[in-house]
Amino acid sequence: MIAFTDIIGMDLAKQALMLLAVDPSLGGVVIPSAVGSGKSTLARAFAGILPEGTPFVELPLNVTEDRLIGGVDLEATLAAGQRVVQHGVLSRAHKGVLYVDSLSLLDSSAVSHVMDAMSRRAVIVEREGLSEVHPADFMLVGTYDPSDGEVRMGLLDRIGIIVPFTSQNDYRARKQIVSVVMGTRDLEDTEDELRMLRGLINAAKEQLPKVSMTSEQIKGLIQTAISLGVEGNRVDIFAIRAAIANAALNQRTEVEDEDLKLAMKLVLVPRATRMPEREATDEEMQSQDEPPPPDEQEPEDEDAPAETPDADAEEEQEETPDMIEELMMDAIETELPDNILNISLASKKKAKSGSRGEALNNKRGRFVRAQQGEMKSGKVALIPTLISAAPWQATRKAEKAKKGIKTGALVINKEDVKIKRFRDKSGTLFIFMVDASGSMALNRMRQAKGAVSSLLQNAYVHRDQVALISFRGKQAQVLLPPSQSVDRAKRELDVLPTGGGTPLASALFTGWETAKQARTKGITQIMFVLITDGRGNIPLQAAYEPNAEKAPKEQLEKEIEALALSIQADGIASIVVDTQMNYLSRGEAPKLAQQLGGRYFYLPNAKAEQIVEAALS
Amino acid sequence: MTQTAKAAKKTSSAKAAVTAEAKAAPAVKKPTSKKKQAQAFPFTAIVGQEEMKLSLILNIIDPRIGGVLVMGHRGTGKSTTVRALAEVLPFIDRVKGDIYNRTVEQYLEMESGAKGAAAIKPEDVKLEQIPVPVVDLPLGATEDRVCGTIDIEKALTSGVKAFEPGLLAQSNRGFLYIDEVNLLDDHLVDVLLDVAASGKNVVEREGISIRHPARFVLVGSGNPEEGELRPQLLDRFGLHARIITINDVAKRVQIVKLRREYDEDPDAFLKKSTREQQKLQKKIEAAKAFLTEVSMDDSVLTDIARLCMNLGIDGHRGELTITRTAYAYAALQGDKKVTMDHVRKIAGLCLRHRLRKDPLETVDAGEKIERELAKVLGEAEAAA
């Protein structure tokens, strides 16, 4: 096993984990990073810097509900003649670490249980006649590859620290360094270093209650959260805790600017929903990859540090104090990846090889729990059936014997039968791809919105979901990820830019990606609804190569054909709604429909309802 | 990592377990309510989010309002507030040790008529006072724990069948809280809808047939972006409170300050807020008592009906909810007569979720209600 101190790079992630070790009430650390960056190695090495005996429990992605929450242990119950309870994964992580690799692939019901446990710091078991509360106060350490999809926001909200995503372009080099180091280094050195690190953390824990923070500093963090448009108020506490933990780690009694900056970087900036505008431009050229400088800045505030924030002295300070604003800008600048497209870029590379997505596609939903039901109505869950029949064997046999009926080894009644319940998202995911370029774009957009709206109104009935991708300019953009929420659709579809080129290939690709992600989450039926004239003029690589906008017609056609055939081969249904007004130039949209193996509709003045009808027909 | 069931250590009630033949009044186990977690953050120390707090209080004053759905942003104190509720709830009388929290009448009705059981005289029934129960229904709950089932423990150890009541029994005459209610499994939603409509829970299993009262105030919370609620369930909630991120720096500083104080020394913090808590509790109790004295003129009722009609709200639950809620609000304010001013305060809460949702609609539901309300009031004035 590679030790924490042996891992080179990922300094920010390391620092985040150290803060968590100092103050577990930060809730956890999430590390988004590309494949092979060593994030999971690091997370596992985290156990090594925690006090000995701290539980480190790994949550497998395919966990069932009873493994997660806990329940009756059949074997032990039968052996003991009384009910024996098996604690779930969540409560086994109590006072320790719950580690999830590929957090974004965790099933949504499992995510809900993790969230619930984090909010209560306990697991409430109300299952199979069992009613117990198991303490489950754990730190969640999660790693994930952003190209697998995003982690649910509700869960992120309960996790204090999100390490900013950086592209690990030199990860191969790093791996080599690790192995070289591993070969030549003395194990005793490593052990010494780890011991030192543990000592450092212990000292910081003792220091923690001694650290004070001024009310100005607290206000500054809160103001930053507001200007970044962070949702919710819980994040304030996390930011404060992170700043204090960092001060404690540096054996200080006062929070300083660097602590605030780190708190912004690790807690606030990753949750930003908007970027504040910058005024000063002097420091534009901040270095990108450097870890936060461990410099010894002189604290600037002359005010005596107050023990607690003084809320009564609240003159409405609407403007962010200059110092805070500067810190915030620094935090943003140094942490945004130089190319914001990195994430989508990573996902594109991945998709070409994408083996994991395929494997999961073959499943028809996931077995989650057993539930009472008729034998005919599903697959019988044998063990739960036996559990529910087991207690009655004595009484039933006695009853039957009284009536003179001979019984076999087991008496199983109809009411014992449990059937398997799968998490079956049996509804359809409709992925709308709307051409937002050209003169008719506004019209098409309106139609699409109406259709999305109408589909969502009936979404409960069919368990359908809707996603919306618009394409214009250089590349397609997911405006609405798969969702059942009318509220969300309303918000996301509010503003729609139109005009520019027609990156049809990018739209197909993005749709395909969205479809693949949905499949890993158990949605099997997918339908593309393309609202376009079928004429793409921007090649795929335009999205990440600024000078690749021009491409020969043949290349464009080839791209689209290849994509369309792959999509068809993946079993995705499609319809193409042609909105072209000019009769003479028709021809490209029908061809697209044919390549996709889908149906073609010519609806130049399509009403939303017509599109819905076409999609559902 | 296993642990013998706590239930095994719990002593069962003194009542004898029923045999397989007996159908009525099977023995029940003691309530499992003594599994309280650390005491919650005090209700009165929660800053802002007035809409949610008011909705909860109105439901205590009149449980027939039908509960409240709290939807909104993450991390804004939804579940903290609901869990804090327990400490400010008034007391109710129930039959001593009764797991169903029954009143004497309910108890007699259920037990007296039972086959083979002797008639019970009202004066023989002992009563006790308990705080209004708040029951937490976790997402992973199985149906048998919600509805109740056979006590497996007893079946295994002594071979007798006894009914082990579920969460629905515990929540009778109390609050049933579901966090992330929009993620609740469909089959549990079915159960809830069924019980909420009839006020009764019926369990038939392994030769035992139980029917017990289960009237509760349903409280749900969630984030609308994580998923929508089934329309039938949405309709069940009397009130719909919205909760959003507080963007006022001073308020947020206050929240942080209180929270840190609480984290540092919960006991001292709770002690400090005892007086406020008791004051609120008294106020609620007084309003509850005062409710019977509140009345409403027919003209107000007419205006309410007109408002619902103009907004195109189906069914009559809208009117009913507004009326009850306005009564409760007037009682809380200490007013004897319900006026349209009271109605105006609570109309949004009562109607917001009953309007048809449309992603293309740009007008906020609250605004729309407010606008119609003004119209109705204008019409009423013009007519006068």
**pLDDT score recorded for residue A361:** 29
Structure tokens at B207: 């030769």
Closest listed residue to residue B347, CA positions, set B333, B363, B367, B332: B367
The model's pLDDT over B15-55, given as tens digits with 9 standing for 90+, comes to: 333 333 333 344 444 333 334 445 789 999 999 899 999 99
Which range of A92-96, A405-409, A482-486, B111-115 scores highest in mean pLDDT? It is A92-96
Q: Indicate whether A604 and A588 sit together in one domain.
A: yes
Residues of chain B with CATH 1.10.8.80: 294-383
CA distances, A480 to each of A143, A504, A514, A528, B162 (Å):
24, 18, 11, 14, 52
Helices (H) and strands (E) in chain A — how many of each?
24, 17
Helices B249-264 and A215-227, packing angle to 10 deg:
120
- Residue B303 or A583, more confident: B303
Our CA angle for A515, A517, A522, nearest 5°, is 90
Tell me the three state secondary structure of residue A474: coil
pLDDT at residue A365 greater than cutoff 90: no
pLDDT at residue A562 greater than cutoff 50: yes
Residues of chain B with CATH 3.40.50.300: 16-243
Contacting residues for A400 by C-beta, under 8 A, at least 6 apart: A406, A407, A411
Q: Indicate whether A468 and A612 sit together in one domain.
A: yes
What is the rounded CA–CA span in Å between residue B251 and residue B256? 9
pLDDT at residue A151 greater than cutoff 60: yes
**pLDDT score recorded for residue A229:** 84
What is the rounded CA–CA span in Å between residue A421 and residue B186? 12
User: Per mean pLDDT, which range of A265-269, A498-502, B36-40 is the poorest?
Assistant: B36-40
CB-based contact, B374 to chain A, within 8 Å: no
The DSSP letter of residue B14 is S
Q: Is A392 in contact with B155 (Cβ distance < 8 A)?
A: yes
Residue A462 belongs to a domain with what CATH number? 3.40.50.410
What is the rounded CA–CA span in Å between residue A274 and residue A271? 9
Beta bridge partners of A472: A475
Please report whether residue A599 resides in a domain: yes
- 24-53 in B: which are within 8 Å (CB) of A? 32, 35, 37
What letters, b where the CB count within 10 A reaches 16 and e where it falls short, cover B33-51? Answer: eeeeeeebbbbbbbbbbeb
What is the rounded CA–CA span in Å between residue B228 and residue B234? 9
Q: pLDDT tier at A310 (50, 70, 90 boundaries)?
A: very low
**Cα nearest neighbour of A390 on chain B:** B156
What is the rounded CA–CA span in Å between residue B118 and residue A23? 62
Please report whether residue A404 resides in a domain: yes
Out of B8, B143, B155, whose CB is closest to A372? B143
Inter-residue contact A306 to A215 (CB < 8 Å): yes
Q: Indicate whether A440 and A392 sit together in one domain.
A: no
- Domain residues for the domain of A523 are 425-616
pLDDT at residue A460 greater than cutoff 60: no
What is chain B's mean pLDDT, rounded?
82
pLDDT at residue A350 greater than cutoff 50: no
**pLDDT score recorded for residue A423:** 53
Tell me the three state secondary structure of residue A470: strand
Residue for token digits 């377990």?
B17
Q: Indicate whether A409 and A465 sit together in one domain.
A: no
- Residue A189 or A313, more confident: A189
Q: What residues in B contact A609, CB-CB < 8 Å?
A: none
Please report whether residue A417 resides in a domain: yes
Q: Is A233 in contact with B76 (Cβ distance < 8 A)?
A: yes
pLDDT at residue A592 greater than cutoff 50: yes
**Cα nearest neighbour of B257 on chain A:** A309
Q: How many Å lie between the alpha carbon of A209 and the closest alpha carbon of chain B?
A: 9
How far out from the chain centre does Cα A494 lie? 24
Domain finish residue from A397, A423, A449? A423
**pLDDT score recorded for residue A548:** 63
CB-based contact, B232 to chain A, within 8 Å: no
The model's pLDDT over A594-607, given as tens digits with 9 standing for 90+, comes to: 888 888 877 766 66
Domain finish residue from A395, A423, A451? A423
Please report whether residue A354 resides in a domain: no
Q: Indicate whether A430 and A549 sit together in one domain.
A: yes
Q: How many domains does chain A have?
A: 2
Q: Indicate whether A552 and A461 sit together in one domain.
A: yes
Task: Write phi, then psi, for A350 (nearest 5 degrees).
Answer: -60, -40
Q: Indicate whether A580 and A502 sit together in one domain.
A: yes
Return the number of other C-beta atoms located less than 10 Å from residue B312's C-beta.
10
Structure tokens at B44: 């009165």
Domain finish residue from A423, A443, A470? A423
Question: What DSSP assignment string belongs to B117-158?
Answer: PPPPPGGG--EEEEEPPEEE--TT--HHHHHEEE-HHHHHHH
* % residues pLDDT > 70 (chain A): 68
Q: Indicate whether A500 and A592 sit together in one domain.
A: yes
Give the sheet arrangement for strand B216-222, strand by strand. B134-136, B174-179, B216-222, B68-72, B239-243
Q: What residues in B contact A124, CB-CB < 8 Å?
A: 136, 138, 141
Contacting residues for A8 by C-beta, under 8 A, at least 6 apart: A174, A177, A178, A181
User: Per mean pLDDT, which range of A38-47, A472-481, B113-122, B337-346 is the poorest?
Assistant: B113-122
Q: Is B226 in contact with A219 (Cβ distance < 8 A)?
A: no
What is the rounded CA–CA span in Å between residue A257 and residue A246? 11
CB-based contact, B375 to chain A, within 8 Å: no
Q: What residues in A contact B259, CB-CB < 8 Å?
A: 237
Structure tokens at A593: 């429909």
Class of domain B16-243 (CATH, top level): alpha beta
Q: pLDDT tier at A127 (50, 70, 90 boundaries)?
A: confident
User: Per mean pLDDT, which range of A104-113, A283-292, A527-536, B320-329 is the poorest?
Assistant: A283-292
Helices A11-22 and A187-207, packing angle to 10 deg:
50
Please report whether residue A434 resides in a domain: yes
Task: Write phi, then psi, for A554 (nearest 5 degrees).
Answer: -65, -40
pLDDT at residue A192 greater than cutoff 90: no
Question: What DSSP assignment string belongs to B23-80?
Answer: -SS--BPPP------SPPPPGGG--S-HHHHHHHHHHHH-GGG--EEEEE-TTSSHHH
| H-type alpha helices, chain B | 6-9, 50-61, 78-84, 104-112, 143-147, 152-158, 167-170, 186-198, 231-236, 249-264, 266-290, 298-310, 317-333, 340-351, 365-383
Interface test with A, best of B36, B52, B73, B152 (most A CBs within 10 A): B152
The DSSP letter of residue A61 is T
Inter-residue contact B125 to B109 (CB < 8 Å): no
Mean pLDDT (whole number) for A101-106: 88
Q: Is B371 noted as a catalytic residue in this protein? A: no
CATH of B294-383, one of 3.80.30.20, 1.10.8.80, 3.20.20.190, 2.40.70.10: 1.10.8.80
What letters, b where the CB count within 10 A reaches 16 and e where it falls short, cover A575-611? Answer: bbbbbbeeeeebebbebbbebbebebbeeeebebebb
What is chain A's mean pLDDT, rounded?
74
Q: How many Å lie between the alpha carbon of A411 and the closest alpha carbon of chain B?
A: 13
Q: Is B145 in contact with A131 (Cβ distance < 8 A)?
A: yes
For residue A52, the one-letter residue type is: E
Q: Which of B64, B252, B259, B317 is labelled catalytic?
A: B317
Q: pTM for this one?
A: 0.70
Q: Is B144 in contact with A129 (Cβ distance < 8 A)?
A: yes
Closest listed residue to residue A264, CA positions, set A283, A292, A284: A292
Q: Indicate whether A454 and A584 sit together in one domain.
A: yes
**pLDDT score recorded for residue B174:** 93
Interface test with B, best of A222, A399, A446, A491 (most B CBs within 10 A): A222
Closest listed residue to residue A501, CA positions, set A437, A579, A588: A437
Structure tokens at A301: 């505030």
Please report whether residue A566 resides in a domain: yes
Q: Indicate whether A394 and A455 sit together in one domain.
A: no
Closest listed residue to residue A24, CA positions, set A117, A161, A135, A143: A161
Please report whether residue A389 resides in a domain: yes
ipTM of the complex: 0.76
Q: pLDDT tier at A54 (50, 70, 90 boundaries)?
A: very high
Q: Indicate whether A485 and A392 sit together in one domain.
A: no
* Torsion sign across C-alpha atoms B137, B138, B142, B148: negative
The DSSP letter of residue A300 is -
Please report whether residue A271 resides in a domain: no
Q: Indicate whether A521 and A435 sit together in one domain.
A: yes
Collect the ranges in chain B with pLDDT lower than 70: 1-38, 113-118, 152-153, 155-159, 206-207, 356-363, 379-384
CB-based contact, B246 to chain A, within 8 Å: yes
Which range of A299-313, A359-373, A572-586 scores highest in mean pLDDT? It is A572-586
